Amino acid sequence: MKICVFGAGAIGGHIAARLARGGSDVSLVARGAHLAAIQRDGLTVHAHDGTHHSRPKASADPADLGPQDAVIVTVKAPALPSVAAAIAPLLREDTPVAFVMNGIPWWYFDRHGGPHDGLRLPEVDPGDALRDAVGIHRTIGGCVYSATEVLAPGVVKSEHGNIRVILGEIDGRITPRVQAISAALEAGGFPSPVSPDIRTEIWLKLLGNLGNGPLCVLTRRGVRDTYLDPLLRDAARRSAEEGRAIAAAHGRPLPDSAVERVANASMAHKPSILQDLELGRPMEIDGILTTTLHLARIAGVATPQLDLLTALVKQAARAAGLYPDIAPAG
């Protein structure tokens, strides 16, 4: 199976290495020092089950890679406009595109049903760029659990063995195309269940992002160190509870255990939103936080803590030059 991973950062690199290990014909869209290292030395991933080295074809220009059997997009939300502008050479009419990302996806209300069916989310797809470039008919949803970081250009570390990529059609069908991508991942040792309700899976992952991401940005510490303060652990629980209320209001009730999982997290890992702040890269503020609050307002759900934390995270990002300044009144 010919699969391109669009976005060869930590997550994208890990996914690409697993696909290569499973025998797929893998290519990568990457850039900068990471791209140069992969082209020169290949891709190395240190994981719980050993070190995996591969030499996937890699380019900054998708036209060099050609049409694919499937594309897996692993960029962060701020990079989605660049994906929309560049992805066309990878696509045939029947090429599925799996968006394996954090946050509320741009397609969330498509084929959703109910009063908000088809609602656009401009925070994550300005000007419908992805909708026009990829199309709903090609789109597959996804979320990933894999605490990873780039150790050096071309070298990725996965911190533990509790990894999985969850995939699902946005209309809930179990189709041959989503099963084929899942099988390619599993062949390389990356568990990839196919869900008939990918939106619930996205909310379950998002609760963790809401619970620990803003707090870790403000403390500049990883999850375990941030949660050493019981007040902050309780704050993470309250953020997850607010997220759970938004999910329920949109027809995705989550169990109590989903909140407790967030509050009881003990990994040392720094969330990717904090890694981006420290490295001076665009942060996933709108995909994870702003769009979630948009959904809260649509449903009439009060989110006092997430409102405050989002405002503080935006100010921290503005101070680092990573988020637009507030326009002056008048």
What residue ranges of the chain have pLDDT lower than 50? none
CATH code linked to domain 2-196: 3.40.50.720
Closest Cα partner for 203 from 164, 158, 238, 249?
249
Total count of residues recorded for the chain: 330
Burial of 162 (0-12, 13-18, 19+ CB in 10 A): exposed
Residue 329's pLDDT is what?
60
pLDDT digits (tens, 9 = 90+) for 284-299: 999 999 999 999 999 9
Catalytic residue list: 205
Beta strands in 146-188 (DSSP E): 148-152, 155-158, 164-169
Fold: same for 2-196 and 200-319: no
DSSP label of 207: H
Sign for the pseudo-dihedral over CA of 165, 82, 243, 315: positive
DSSP annotation of 125 reads S
Note the pLDDT of residue 330.
Answer: 55
**Per-residue pLDDT, 32:** 93
Nearest to 320 by CA among 260, 275, 280: 280
CA–CA separation, 149 and 145 (whole Å) = 13
Rg over CA atoms, the chain: 19
Query: What would the two tokens of residue 41 be?
Result: 């030395």
pLDDT of residue 328: 67
Provide CATH code, domain 200-319: 1.10.1040.10
pLDDT at 327: 66
Supply the angle between the helices 291-299 and 304-319 in degrees, to the nearest 10. Answer: 150
Could you tell me where the beta strands, DSSP code E, fall in the chain?
2-6, 25-29, 43-47, 50-54, 57-59, 70-73, 97-100, 139-145, 148-152, 155-158, 164-169
Which single residue is written with the structure tokens 């609602």? Answer: 119
Give the ranges where 23-166 is alpha helix by DSSP (H): 32-41, 80-86, 129-133
The reported pLDDT for the residue numbered 245 is: 98
CA dihedral sign of residues 299, 304, 309, 311: positive
Q: What is the reported pLDDT for 160?
A: 86
- DSSP assignment, residue 271? P
Integer distance in angstroms from the first to the last C-alpha of the chain? 56
Listed by start position, the domains of the chain span 2-196, 200-319
pTM assigned to the model: 0.96
H/E element, 298: helix 291-299
Determine the pLDDT at residue 207. Answer: 98
Distances in whole angstroms, Cα of residue 265 to Cα of each of 32, 196, 261, 279 = 34, 27, 6, 24
d(CA 323, CA 18): 34
CA distances in angstroms from 47 to 5, 155, 189, listed in the order given: 19, 11, 10
